[in-house]
């Protein structure tokens, strides 16, 4: 066995072999390196959370022409710390008649389900928690745990508003999972792998955002709904169901729901950046892998801020509009999109313009297939928008005809008296 160099920068990547070289039991060394990696990656969303809460409030404040938190620390950046301390000292109320065990379990599920997503996110070419061969499937599976927390919280609280909120939220989350997964299918199809690192590598030549814009936009919308952001924030419709499924929670348990929600929104942006915006891809990542972290961060912030601005500018939709939009628009579109992309990939194969081998990471070699896919996507967008516009016009005409009829009837009625 060759001697490993176990000075500071190298030891980070080779912790287990280095420890074993120092005379430790190999299994124990392995376990320690895994545990350290897990704690590091799980701490990452927690660290970002402290900043996220302030950024979220700052952006919302700016959109609404307010200043936002500005007292604690420079620009109010430390606001989260007193907030957390305050939550810590609040009384924890368990409502009478609550199902205590699952009532206490729900906030933990809420938080854990989001932290778990970070296990498969590639930060740099070298740094990823676990590069599972089924990374994309893992993302979907873990994201679905989020649905369980809402059912558990709403059911165990023994409150009608909580139960009502939980029902509609579950209906929403279940429904929007369909376009989410079907949109995720497209990058998997183009890259030919489900491994997260593989999905990023496949974007070396061209980001999937340009190869599959329809899937990207659909993924963004579905994610906005999955994380309960406006215009899909029915799960916390204050004016209708007070606060939804977490109404009976207080203190830090309520805080866990909030923290989970904020973190989920950020995590969804990270996933979007990884799958559609090339993740850590950028100039110089091969020489200096840690740069990838910066690129991923920058891309994520762009997506996240866009989501925030969207959240603070659009009004909430009604539940029937929400469900119709999903089942009558997004799902059919997602199915058509899968078929169109499948057909286009066959065309690419038939024309023989798919980049082979090393050329796959070259921008020029990727251009022909990107053009084919992009044109197909634009075609889908154009057709769909024309169809929707025509249907809307017919609907409006029909509505106007009905209105005119009732007006005539009313006039006739008035004249008869």
Partner 1 sequence: MAVLNEWAFIGVFFAVAWVFPFAPIFLARLVAPRKPNPIKQSTYECGVETVGDTWVQFKVQYYIYGLIFLVFDVEMIFLFPWAVAYRELDFFAFAAGFLFIFLLADALIYAWRKDALEWV
182: contact with partner 1 by CB under 8 A: yes
Give 262's Cβ-side CA count (13 Å radius): 19
Q: Provide the phi-psi class of 278: left if phi over 0, else alpha when psi is between -120 and 50, else beta.
A: left
b vs e for 5-42, b when ≥16 Cβ sit within 10 Å of the residue's Cβ?
eeeeeeeeeebbbbbbeeeeeeeebbeebeeebeeebe
Exposed, middle or buried by CB within 10 Å (0-12, 13-18, 19+), for 144? middle
Q: Among residues 171, 290, 294, 374, which is the contact residue for partner 1, using CB under 8 A?
A: 171
Q: Which residues, 251 to 310, sit near partner 1 by CB under 8 A?
A: 251-253, 255-256, 260
> What crossing angle do the helices spanning 331-351 and 363-416 adopt, rounded to 10°?
150
CA 193/CA 19 separation, integer angstroms: 33
Part in contact with partner 1 (CB under 8 A); list of ranges 61-69, 135-143, 208-216, 229-237? 135-143
Out of 77, 354, 381, 384, the residue judged to bind partner 1 by CB under 8 A = 354
Count CA atoms within 13 Å of residue 347 on its CB side.
15
Report if residue 174 touches partner 1, rule: CB under 8 A. Answer: yes
x/- site string to partner 1, residues 115 to 134, per CB under 8 A? xx--x---------xxxxx-
Q: Are 222 and 233 in contact (CB under 8 A)?
A: no
Query: Which one among 3, 65, 320, 358 touches partner 1, defined by CB under 8 A?
Result: 320
Residues 83-102 that bind partner 1 (CB under 8 A): 84, 87-97
Which part of the chain contacts partner 1 (CB under 8 A), choosing from 248-256, 276-284, 294-302, 304-312?
248-256
Q: Which is nearer to partner 1, 38 or 72 (CB)?
A: 38
The yes or no reply on residue 46 touching partner 1 (CB under 8 A) is: yes
Q: Which of 18, 41, 234, 271 binds partner 1 (CB under 8 A)?
A: 41
The beta-strand segments (E) located in 21-165 are none
How many angstroms separate the CA atoms of 37 and 42, rounded?
A: 8
Q: Which is closer to partner 1, CB of 346 or CB of 394? A: 346
| Residue in 181, 218, 274, 296 binding partner 1, rule: CB under 8 A | 181
Handedness of CA 158, 254, 56, 277 (dihedral sign): negative
- Contact between 247 and partner 1 (CB under 8 A)? yes
188: cis peptide before it, omega within 30°? Answer: no
Q: Which two tokens stand for residue 413?
A: 């009625």
CA 77 – CA 314 distance, rounded (Å): 26
Q: Where are the alpha helices (DSSP H) in 314-362?
A: 319-324, 331-351
Identity of the residue, 288 or 343, whose beta carbon is nearer to partner 1 in the bound complex: 343
User: Is residue 107 a contact point for partner 1 (CB under 8 A)?
Assistant: yes
Nearer to partner 1, 291 or 347 (CB): 347
Residue from 12, 38, 317, 381 in contact with partner 1 (CB under 8 A): 38
Residue 75 found at the interface with partner 1 (CB under 8 A): no
Nearer to partner 1, 146 or 307 (CB): 146
Of 55-63, 244-252, 283-291, 357-365: span binding partner 1 (CB under 8 A): 244-252
The 10 Å CB-count burial string (b at 16+, else e) for 324-343 is ebbeeebbebbeebbebbee
Residues β-bridged to residue 122: 128
The least CB distance from residue 309 to partner 1, in Å, is: 29
348 within 8 A of 354, measured Cβ to Cβ: yes
Minimum distance, C-beta of residue 325 to partner 1, in the bound complex (Å):
11
Nearer to partner 1, 84 or 294 (CB): 84
In terms of CB distance, is 59 or 177 closer to partner 1? 177
Question: Which residue lies nearer to partner 1 by CB, 92 or 286?
Answer: 92
Quickly tell me which residue has 């309520």 as its tokens: 254
Q: Smallest gap, in angstroms, from Cβ of residue 341 to partner 1?
A: 9
CB of 42: closest distance to partner 1 in angstroms? 5
Q: At its nearest, how many Å lie between partner 1 and the CB of residue 288?
A: 25
For position 160 contacting partner 1 by CB under 8 A, the verdict is yes
Q: How far apart are CA 286 and CA 288, in angstroms?
A: 6
Q: Does 324 bind partner 1 (CB under 8 A)?
A: yes
């Amino acid at each position: 066995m060759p001697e490993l160099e176990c000075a500071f920068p190298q030891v980070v990547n080779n912790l287990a072999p280095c420890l074993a070289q120092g005379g430790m039991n190999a299994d124990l060394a392995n376990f320690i390196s895994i545990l350290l990696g897990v704690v590091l990656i799980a701490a990452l969303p927690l660290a970002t959370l402290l900043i996220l809460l302030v950024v979220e409030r700052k952006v919302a404040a700016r959109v609404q022409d307010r200043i936002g938190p500005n007292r604690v620390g420079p620009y109010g950046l430390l606001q989260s710390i007193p907030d957390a301390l305050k939550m810590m000292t609040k009384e924890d109320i368990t409502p009478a008649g609550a199902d205590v065990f699952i009532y206490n379990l729900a906030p933990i599920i809420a938080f854990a389900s989001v932290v778990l997503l970070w296990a498969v996110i590639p930060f740099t070419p070298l740094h990823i928690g676990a590069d599972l061969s089924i990374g994309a499937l893992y993302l979907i599976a873990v994201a679905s745990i989020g649905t369980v927390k809402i059912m558990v919280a709403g059911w165990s609280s023994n409150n009608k508003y909580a139960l009502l909120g939980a029902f509609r939220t579950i209906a929403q989350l279940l429904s929007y999972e369909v376009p989410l997964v079907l949109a995720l299918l497209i990058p998997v199809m183009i890259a030919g792998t489900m491994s997260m690192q593989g999905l990023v590598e496949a974007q070396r030549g061209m980001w999937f955002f340009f190869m599959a814009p329809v899937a990207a936009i659909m993924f963004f919308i579905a994610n906005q709904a999955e994380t309960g952001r406006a215009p899909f924030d029915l799960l916390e419709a204050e004016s209708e169901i007070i606060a939804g499924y977490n109404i009976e929670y207080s203190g830090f348990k309520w805080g866990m729901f909030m923290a989970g929600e904020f973190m989920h929104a950020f995590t969804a942006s990270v996933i979007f950046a990884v799958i559609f915006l090339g993740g850590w891809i950028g100039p110089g990542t091969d020489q200096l892998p840690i740069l990838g972290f910066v690129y991923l961060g920058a891309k994520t912030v762009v997506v996240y801020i866009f989501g925030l601005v969207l959240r603070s500018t659009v009004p909430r939709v009604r539940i029937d509009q929400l469900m119709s939009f999903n089942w009558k628009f997004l799902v059919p579109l997602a199915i058509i999109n899968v078929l169109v992309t499948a057909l286009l990939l066959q065309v690419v194969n038939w024309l023989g313009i798919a980049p082979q081998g090393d050329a796959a990471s070259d921008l020029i070699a990727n251009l022909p297939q990107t053009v084919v896919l992009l044109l197909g996507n634009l075609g889908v967008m154009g057709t769909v928008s024309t169809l929707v516009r025509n249907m809307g016009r017919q609907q409006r005409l029909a509505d106007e005809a009905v209105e005119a009829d009732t007006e005539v009837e009313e006039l006739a009625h008035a004249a008869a008296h």
